[in-house]
Amino acid sequence: MGQSLSSILPRSVVGFVSSDASKLLTHEFFTFVLDGNIDQLRELIDTLTDTELERLLHMQFPPDGDNRGTALFIAVIRGHAEVVTVLLKKGADPLEPSSAVVHNNAEKVLPLLFAAAGGHLKVCRQLVANGADVNRGRDNGETPLQLAAFKGHLDIVVFLVEKGADINLADTRGTTPLMSASINGQTNVVQFLLSKGAHTNQRDRTGTIFALVCAIGGGHLYVCRRLVAAGVDVNQESTNGLTPLMYACILKEATIVALLVRYGATINLLDINGHTALMFASKAGAPGIVRLLLQYGAHAGQADNAGNIFALICAVGGGHLEVCRELLLARADVNQVTTVGRTALMYACVLGRYGRLVIILLVEFGANIERVTVSGTTPLMFASKSGRIDAVRYLLLMGALTDPVNYGGKTAMDLATEEGHAEIVEILHVAATQQANPNP
């Protein structure tokens, strides 16, 4: 009878050879799993001892990586259904988590989550048949159903629900499967979840996100249609008071705005700061939406809680000429003032882009060029201090006076001098001379 390796070689050498062989075996095993090489994997497994197989089935590979998974987990990600079948029969545990870095956070994740995300229905069936929990996925509570809904894998969504997945189960952020499907525009999934009783008005943990807002955020008109047809509250408010209509105005989603209005969205609701949908649409520069809101009774003169913001100022602040025109045509008060006495014209006088065109429009609609703030500041003073040569020239052309003094005792020329606007100082000097000595 021949001598064993251990009786011939020193113990340290035997350990080295054994370790090297183990690494080679591990490499072969996981290579076959990764490649989906089912025949060679079966042959290799047949040569393994129970101890070796147990080690390989439960080890995390690669052992020194941030993203480490069991053989079953790797086969699931690759969608190798036959490999999954073999591993499960050999004792792989579908409830054994693997390590993954998700959004820079190390988490424990389960195979079913990635089977659902990858659209591998057959693999999902195998895992569930072998004891996978349909309501468990990641450390943050994200479920296989939630991820399948986001990806739009309707067949897997249906399967998971049939197997008992909770359609209203939220993750730690408060996100539900319906929200996930809505934000990614998965209309068919949304329709199915609604048919199974998904809660349409459920909010996330912050209280600012719900299914309709998710659909609006992605610009998904057809999802919005499904939700409103299912009876979602079109006036549901976030914790900050923002309504779906306001979100749609912010994002300039004109067709969604029209849909919400048609389904009863209240036009003049206020958020916690007193802002309206019309203000948001005006700030965003959406003339079509502004026109629609005005046609349905939006209050153009509504001011915010502080009394410093109204629709025309929002439009002027963004240099949105066409929005300004829509508001003025709807008889918005061109001389409406804030709590400190500022008008839209004064804001236009400090603008750069499109400022002159906005100023011309405001003046054409009757803006008072000699209106003063509570500190005695005129539009010409604002333009002079801001270095707006074009605005200064136009205001002077329209007859703006150079001699008014603010409550600090300064004229427009004084303010321009302080800011170093030499050209404006010269223009004002010439204008002041002409105003002091008008031609007969």
Question: For residue 440, what pLDDT is reported?
Answer: 55
Q: DSSP assignment of 165-208, as one string?
A: --TT---TT---HHHHHHHTT-HHHHHHHHHTT--TT-B-TTSS
Mean pLDDT split into 10-residue runs, the chain, 440 residues: 39 46 89 95 94 94 83 95 97 92 79 96 98 94 97 99 98 97 98 98 94 98 98 96 98 98 98 98 98 98 97 96 98 97 97 86 98 98 97 97 97 98 98 86
pTM value? 0.89
Calpha distance 107→98 (Å, rounded)? 8
| C-beta neighbour count of 263 within 10 angstroms | 17
pLDDT at 22: 85
- C-alpha angle 201/145/31, rounded to 5°? 155
8-state DSSP, 48: -
Q: Which residues contact residue 358 at a Cβ distance below 8 angstroms, ignoring those fewer than 6 apart?
A: 316, 319, 321, 324, 348, 351
Which of 99, 93, 94 has its CA nearest to residue 116? Answer: 94
Rounded (5°) CA angle 25-69-67:
115
Sketch the domain layout of the chain as residue ranges: 46-163
Tell me what pLDDT residue 104 has. Answer: 72
Domain 46-163, CATH class in plain words? mainly alpha
Rounded CA-CA distance 387/421 in Å is 6
Instruction: Give me the pLDDT at residue 67, please.
Output: 80
How many angstroms separate the CA atoms of 217 and 238, rounded? 14
Q: What pLDDT score was predicted for residue 9?
A: 36
Could you tell me if 270 and 276 are in contact, meaning their C-beta atoms sit under 8 angstroms apart? yes
Question: Does residue 62 have a cis peptide bond before it, meaning omega lies within 30 degrees of 0?
Answer: yes
